[in-house]
């Protein structure tokens, strides 16, 4: 079966990133490996992943390998200064499930928006009564280098299509 709209896709891969700063490209370094023990599954056409990522996988079959690079523009774009905000520290209390150590610079805070969607923010700086957070995607500004294999391709169920995500062993449990 080929990867097409509304198929469930499982991938094994290594993701390396690089960044171009002042006309000098950094050497790619590994940031994520998904192996046979923990493949990455998504609903093709509704993954929330960069469009170009899905476009480059379209039509491939189980067992095929892939290798491609998404430029920062094709991936998550450039950092948006409007996504950097100072928020009162009291919003991150122990009653809300936060520990003081979680607010240290460089940490990623697991958050939920007003619609119940999970997100994260990187702690940039402790400002005393406030904390400066970056809500940009962690891979914003990076070129993404993927090398991997199509682990599985199957038809999505009607329920998966309706819900917009993978169910069962490799997905969301209701």
Burial class (CB in 10 A: 0-12, 13-18, 19+), 147: middle
So what's the pLDDT on residue 97?
87
Query: What's the Cα-to-Cα distance from 137 to each of 38, 44, 85, 142, 168, rounded to whole Å?
Result: 22, 20, 14, 10, 27
What is the value of pTM for the model shown? Answer: 0.81
Helix (H) or strand (E) holding 21: strand 20-21
| CA–CA dist 88, 130 (Å, integer) | 4
pLDDT digits (tens, 9 = 90+) for 89-145: 999 988 888 988 999 999 999 888 887 878 899 999 999 999 999 999 999 999 999
In this model, does residue 174 exceed pLDDT 70? no
Q: Long-range contacts of range 111-116, CB-CB < 8 Å, 24 or more positions apart?
A: none
Note the CATH number of domain 81-134: 2.40.10.330
Do 66 and 29 form a contact (C-beta atoms < 8 A)?
Answer: no
Q: Are 17 and 145 in contact (CB under 8 A)?
A: yes
For the chain, which residues make up each domain, given as ranges? 7-76+140-170, 81-134
Confidence band for 172, pLDDT divided at 50, 70 and 90: low
Mean pLDDT score of the chain, rounded to an integer? 91
Instruction: Choose among 139, 166, 7: nearest CA to 73.
Output: 139
For domain 7-76+140-170, the CATH architecture is: Roll (3.10)
DSSP 120-172: EEEEEEE-SSEEEEE-S-TTTT-EEEEEEEEEEEEEPPHHHHHHTS-BGGGSB
Confidence of residue 59 (pLDDT cuts 50, 70, 90): very high
pLDDT of residue 100: 87
- For residue 153, the Cα-to-chain-centroid distance in whole angstroms is 20
């Amino acid at each position: 079966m080929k990867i097409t709209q509304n198929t469930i896709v499982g991938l094994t891969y290594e993701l390396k990133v690089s960044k171009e700063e002042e006309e000098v490209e950094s050497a790619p370094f590994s940031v994520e490996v998904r192996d046979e023990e923990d493949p990455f599954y998504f609903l093709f056409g509704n993954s929330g992943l960069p469009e170009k990522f899905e476009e480059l996988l379209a039509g491939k079959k189980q067992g095929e390998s892939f290798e491609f690079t998404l430029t920062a523009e094709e991936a998550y774009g450039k950092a948006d200064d409007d996504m950097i905000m100072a928020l009162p520290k009291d919003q991150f209390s122990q009653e809300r499930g936060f520990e003081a150590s979680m607010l240290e610079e460089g940490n990623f805070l697991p958050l939920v928006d007003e619609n119940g969607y999970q997100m994260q923010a990187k702690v940039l700086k402790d400002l005393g009564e406030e904390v400066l957070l970056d809500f940009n995607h962690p891979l914003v500004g990076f070129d993404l280098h993927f090398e991997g294999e199509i682990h599985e391709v199957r038809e999505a169920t009607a329920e998966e299509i309706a819900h917009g995500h993978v169910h069962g062993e490799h997905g969301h449990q209701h």
